[in-house]
C-alpha cells in the first residue's frame, strides 16, 4: 500500500506540474518568410492585413512573431487584433491591443531599398481562446508617414490571407503571411479530472491513516 501511495503521489505531482507550469511554445506556425520581396501593406492608418489560423485545442496565446519589410527600422508601435472566422471571412472581435516588449531583428534580406526584419512581441494580457479558426490582424504605426511596412509572404499555404485599407476596400487573396503564435495549451478536462481524482485519493488515504 505504501508503495502504491508513493506512485500515486508522484503521478499527481507530475500532472500538477505539467498542467500548471507548462512552458510557452510555438502553438501555430503559418510558415517562415519566402524572401521573394513580396509583402502586404500594414501601415497605419491606411492599410492592414490579416491571415487565418486554426487551433486544435483551447490555448492561451502570449506572443506573436512575424516578418516585415520597411524602409527604416523606426516605428511608433504595433497593434494586433484577433477575430473569429466565419466561412473564411472575418467574424466577431475576440481581443486586441498594443504590442509590448517588441524585438526587431534584421534578417539580412532586402527588397529594393527595403530591409526585412523579424519582429516578436508579447501580448500584455494573454488571450484564452477555444479550439477553432481565427484571424490575426496586424498594423504598424510609422514615425515617418513616408515609411511603409510590408508583412512578408510565405510559401506555406495554410489558409487564405486578407488585405484591406482605410479607404473601405477589403478582399481575400490566395497567399499566406509569415507568422508564428506562441502560447500554452489549456489542460484538457480529462487531465483535470485525473488531477482531482488523485488528490481526492490522497486525502482519503490521509484520513484513514489519521483514524488508524
Choice between 40 and 174, residue whose per-residue pLDDT is larger: 40
Write down the mean pLDDT value for the chain: 84
pLDDT value of residue 7: 44
Closest CA relative to residue 155, chosen from 69, 66, 31: 31
pLDDT value of residue 25: 96
Q: Is the pLDDT of residue 33 over 50?
A: yes
Quickly count helices (H) and strands (E) in the chain. Answer: 2, 14
Q: Confidence class of residue 184 from pLDDT cuts 50, 70 and 90? A: very high
Q: Is the pLDDT of residue 16 over 50?
A: no
Phi, psi dihedral angles at 87 (to 5 degrees): 55, 50
Which of 136-140, 163-167, 193-197, 201-205 has the weakest average pLDDT? 193-197
pLDDT in tens, 114-158: 999 999 999 999 999 999 999 999 999 999 999 999 999 998 877
Strands 39-41, 149-154: pairing is antiparallel
Phi, psi dihedral angles at 200 (to 5 degrees): -65, -40
Length of the chain: 212
pLDDT value of residue 156: 82
3-class SS at 56? coil
pTM (2 decimals)?
0.80
Q: What percentage of residues in the chain have a pLDDT greater than 90?
A: 65
Q: Is the pLDDT of residue 209 over 80?
A: no
Which of 16-20, 41-45, 98-102 has the weakest average pLDDT? 16-20
pLDDT value of residue 121: 98
Amino acid at each position: 500500500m505504501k508503495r502504491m501511495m508513493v506512485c500515486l503521489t508522484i503521478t499527481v505531482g507530475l500532472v500538477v506540474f505539467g498542467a500548471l507550469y507548462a512552458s510557452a511554445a510555438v502553438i501555430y506556425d503559418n510558415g517562415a518568410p519566402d524572401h521573394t520581396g513580396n509583402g502586404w501593406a500594414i501601415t497605419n492608418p491606411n492599410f492592414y492585413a490579416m491571415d487565418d489560423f486554426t487551433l486544435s485545442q483551447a490555448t492561451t496565446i502570449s506572443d506573436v512573431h512575424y516578418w516585415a519589410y520597411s524602409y527604416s527600422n523606426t516605428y511608433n508601435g504595433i497593434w494586433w487584433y484577433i477575430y473569429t472566422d466565419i466561412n473564411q471571412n472575418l467574424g466577431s472581435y475576440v481581443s486586441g491591443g498594443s504590442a509590448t516588449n517588441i524585438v526587431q531583428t534584421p534578417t539580412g534580406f532586402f527588397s529594393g531599398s527595403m530591409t526585412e526584419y523579424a519582429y516578436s512581441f508579447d501580448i500584455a494580457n494573454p488571450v484564452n481562446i477555444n479550439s477553432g479558426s481565427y484571424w490575426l490582424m496586424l498594423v504598424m504605426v510609422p514615425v515617418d508617414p513616408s515609411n511603409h511596412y510590408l508583412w512578408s509572404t510565405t510559401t506555406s499555404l495554410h489558409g487564405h490571407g486578407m488585405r484591406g485599407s482605410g479607404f473601405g476596400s477589403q478582399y481575400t487573396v490566395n497567399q499566406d503571411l509569415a507568422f508564428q503564435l506562441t502560447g500554452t495549451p489549456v489542460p484538457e478536462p480529462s487531465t483535470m479530472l485525473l488531477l482531482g481524482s488523485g488528490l481526492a485519493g490522497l486525502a482519503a488515504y490521509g484520513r484513514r491513516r489519521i483514524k488508524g
